[in-house]
Structure 1
Amino acid sequence: MNWLLVALGAAVGAPLRFLTDRAVQTRHDSVFPWGTFAVNVVGCLVLGVLTGAVTAGAASSRVQLFLGTGLCGALTTYSTFSYETLRLVEDGAKFYAALNVIAGVVAGLGAVFAGVLFGEALWD
């Protein structure tokens, strides 16, 4: 039954990723992949809060499978992040490629750490 929780979470996360990416990217007239950046950082924050909740005993392993593995797994995307970085380099936008890598990693790690602290504080 665990696979079903993951599949249901992914069924929510994948369209959410697509719609969020399009909504964010259409608001920016830039070669920088703001849509992918946004979904990855938000996904890191959600996963961090969820991890804090699980650590505090406020969320079950089933919630973790649905939200963490399913929803966040489909919402966030390392492959698109990598592809868009490569595309930026190939298009000569090396500054934006470097910015995408540095900002993506720093913001993602910051979001997950902040999320864990928030989740633990909220449910401790």
Structure 2
Amino acid sequence: MIWWAAAGGMVGTIARYGLGMWAGKRLGTVFPWGTWIINISGSLLLGWLYGEFTQHNLSPALWMLLGTGFCGGYTTFSTFGYESIQLMEHKKYRRMAVYVLSSVIVGVIAAAIGYRVSYIL
């Protein structure tokens, strides 16, 4: 089963890199939009996947591929922490507070929405 997680993680990491680069070019780097978008969309996806798996009793290998692998490789808590420290070091305290609070609050809300949507679709 570890190979399923590795395969999903590889694809998730590539998706994260691509979206992060796109966001940096399109939205700028004043605010860490790339990581924010990645973590919120990953939370939404993982919430939806969790709902699907709990409702339909899907295979553990599929969970390893998509939940643990893809979502684990796609989202990035370590970069979130690093970027928060960077904002603090540059004395961007308000921006850091918005980033940290919105990442946590919106991330949990996104996971809950994804979970609920799985019951609607």
Q: After TM superposition, is the score higher than 0.5?
A: yes
Aligned position for 2:37: 38
Residue 16 in 1 paired to residue 34 in 2? Answer: no
Offset at 1:61? 1.7
- Per the alignment, in what secondary structure is the counterpart of residue 87 of structure 1? helix
Q: Deviations over 1:58-100 (max 9, x none)?
A: 6322211101000000100110000000000001111110000
Identity over aligned pairs, percent: 36
- Per the alignment, in what secondary structure is the counterpart of residue 27 of structure 1? helix
- Structure 2: any 5+ residue segments left out of the alignment? none
CA distance in 1 between counterparts of 2:94 and 2:26 reads 21
- After TM superposition, list the pairs within 5 Å mapping 1:31-70 onto structure 2: 31-57=30-56, 59-70=58-69
Give the CA RMSD over aligned residues. Answer: 1.1
Aligned position for 1:111: 110
Number of equivalences: 121
TM-score by length of structure 1 reads: 0.93
8 Å contact 1:48–1:112 — kept in the other structure?
yes
Q: Which runs of 4+ in 1 moved over 4 A?
A: none
Deviates more, 1:57-66 or 1:34-43: 57-66
CA distance in 1 between counterparts of 2:42 and 2:73 reads 9
